A and B are shown apart, each in its own frame.
Chain A
Amino acid sequence: MADGRTPRGDGEGGVAPVGPAPAVRPFLVTAGRVAGAAGEASAGRTMPVETQLVATTNGLDALHRLSFEQHDIVAACRVPQSIAEIAARLRLHLNVVRVLAEDLRTAGQLSVHVPDSGVTHDASVLRRVIDGLRAIPDSRRVLRDTD
C-alpha cells in the first residue's frame, strides 16, 4: 500500500504537494472499503472525478459530530467541489473520497451530483463552453475581473 512518500508521478516538477503526505494508511478511514462496491452514487453509476459534492444543511448542522475526514469533506463542500478537488485539498486518495462521499450521502449530510454524460456532451452545453473559453484573453495578466 502507499508508503507515505510523496510520489513524483507525472507531476512534472511544477506542482509541489502542499504538505507531507498523510501517514495514516488511506483506507483505514474507510474501514477497509474501497470504491467500486460502495463508491457508487445512487443511480448505480460510479462517481467520475469531476462529480460535484455539496454539503447539505443536515451535514453542516452535524459538523461537530463528524469525524476528521467526514468533517473536513462536509466543511469544504460548503462551496461545491469535485471529488478530485476534495482528494487534492484534503490529501486523500480518490477512492477514499468516493467511499466517504457515499457514506455522507446516505446519511443525508452531503449531496452528490454525478454528471450525466448525455447532458455534458450535449451540443448546447459544448457551445456554451466554447463561447466561455473564447472570452478568455491571451494574457495571464488580464484576469477576468468580471468573475
Chain B
Amino acid sequence: MTPTEPLVRASAGQAAVRPPLPVKLVIAGGFGVGKTTAVGSISEIEPLTTEAAITEVAAGVDDLSHTPTKTTTTVAMDFGCITIDPTLKLYLFGTPGQERFGFMWDDIVEGAVGGLVIVDTRRLDDCYAAVDYFEHKQIPFAVAVNAFDGQTAHTLDEVRWALDVSEGVPLLVFDARERGSVRDALLVVLEQALARSGG
C-alpha cells in the first residue's frame, strides 16, 4: 500500500510534483483554551482558518453564543503544519470543543494519528466532550493543562480525578505560547500513537 500514487510516469494527467504524506494530529478543547495559540506557536505557516457548515440544532448556549437556536451555522477550524521532510508533513487541526460540534469532529478527526486535549483548569467542564470523544473513538490522546501565566487552578491529580481519565492517558502541564512546550506536548501524543501502533 502506498499513500499516494507513485509518480512513475510524468504523463499529462499526473501530478507534476509528488505531495508529502500528511500525518494529522487534532488539538481539541473548549472555547478560548489556547488551541489556536498552540498551533500558532509551532506551525511553520500562520494558522489558517476554514469554515465548515454544520446543520445540527444547537443543544445549548455557549459562553459566546450568537444564535443558539439556529439549525445551520458555520464553525471555524484553525490549523497549521510542520514540514518534517519533503515527503512527510505534520498537520495540526484545532477543533471546536463544544459538544454540539460533534458532526464537525468526525470530518476533521477521520484518520488522525492522535489528539491533544487542552484544558483550562478554571473551566474543566469545557473539555469533557473532547475526552469522551477520543476515548470513544479509541484515538490515542494526551491531556495538556494550559498554564495561563504559569498558574493552574488545580493539581494534575485533581484534574485527572475530575476528568476521570485512565492512568494510561498522559496528563501534562504546558504553555501554549511556548514553542518548545507545544512541541513536547505533541511528542507525548505521538509517543502514545507509536505505542498503540505496536512500535
Tell me, yes or no, whether A binds B. Answer: yes
Interface residues of A (CB under 8 A from B): 1-2, 7-15, 17, 21, 26, 46, 48-58, 60-61, 78-80, 82, 84-85, 87-89, 93-95, 108, 111, 113, 115-130, 132-134, 136-140, 147
Q: Tell whether, in the assembled complex, residue A115 and residue B22 are in contact, meaning their CB atoms are under 8 Å apart.
A: yes
A-contacting 9-mer, from B13-21, B155-163, B164-172: B13-21
Say yes or no: A126 contacts B111, CB within 8 Å. Answer: no
Chain B: interface size category: 35 or more
CA distance A136 to B3 in the complex (A): 25
Contact (A12, B35) CB under 8 Å given A2-B53, A52-B20, A129-B88: yes
User: How many angstroms from the CA of A48 to the CA of B93 in the assembled complex?
Assistant: 12
Contact (Cβ within 8 A) B78 A15: yes
A117 to B16, CA, bound (A): 24
A130 touches B90 (CB 8 A): no
Q: Is the interface of B mostly helix, strand, loop or mixed?
A: mixed
Q: Is B110 an interface residue (CB 8 A)?
A: yes
Given contact pairs A54-B17, A130-B194, A119 touches B1 in the complex (Cβ within 8 A)? yes
Tell me, yes or no, whether B79 is within 8 Å of chain A by CB.
yes
5 contacts between A and B (CB under 8 A): A57-B12, A94-B52, A120-B111, A126-B113, A133-B90
- For chain B residues 76-125, which have a beta carbon within 8 Å of chain A? 76-79, 81-85, 88, 90-91, 93-97, 107-108, 110-111, 113
Distance of A117 Cα from B83 Cα, bound (Å):
18
Point out the residue from B66, B72, B111, B187 that lies within 8 Å of A50, measured CB to CB: B111
Residues of A within 8 A of B77 (CB): 9-10, 49, 84
Chain B residue nearest to A57 in the complex (CB): B12
A125–B42 CB distance below 8 A = no
Name the residue of chain B whose CB is nearest to the CB of A92: B50
- Min CB–CB distance B40 → chain A (angstroms): 7
| Residue from B13, B36, B191, B198 with most neighbouring chain A CB atoms (10 Å) | B13
Given A80-B18, A82-B22, A137-B179, 5 new contacts (CB under 8 A) = A7-B75, A14-B40, A14-B47, A123-B199, A136-B180
What string of 1s and 0s marks CB contacts (under 8 Å) between B140-179 and chain A? Answer: 0000000000000000000000000000000000000011
Write out the residue numbers on chain B whose beta carbons fall within 8 Å of the beta carbon of A94.
Answer: 50-52, 107
The yes or no answer to B49 lying at the interface (CB within 8 A) is yes
Q: With contacts A2-B53, A7-B76, A126-B197 known, is A12 near B36, CB below 8 A?
A: yes
- Nearest Cβ distance between residue A28 and chain B, in whole angstroms? 14
User: Contacts A49-B108, A56-B12, A58-B12 known; A119 to B93 CB distance under 8 Å?
Assistant: no
Q: What's the minimum C-beta distance from A120 to chain B, rounded to whole angstroms?
A: 5
Contact A115 B75 (CB under 8 A): no
> Which residues in A have their C-beta under 8 angstroms from that of B178?
138
Are B191 and A57 neighbours in the complex by a CB distance under 8 Å?
A: no
Q: Chain A's nearest CB lies how many Å from the CB of B118?
A: 11
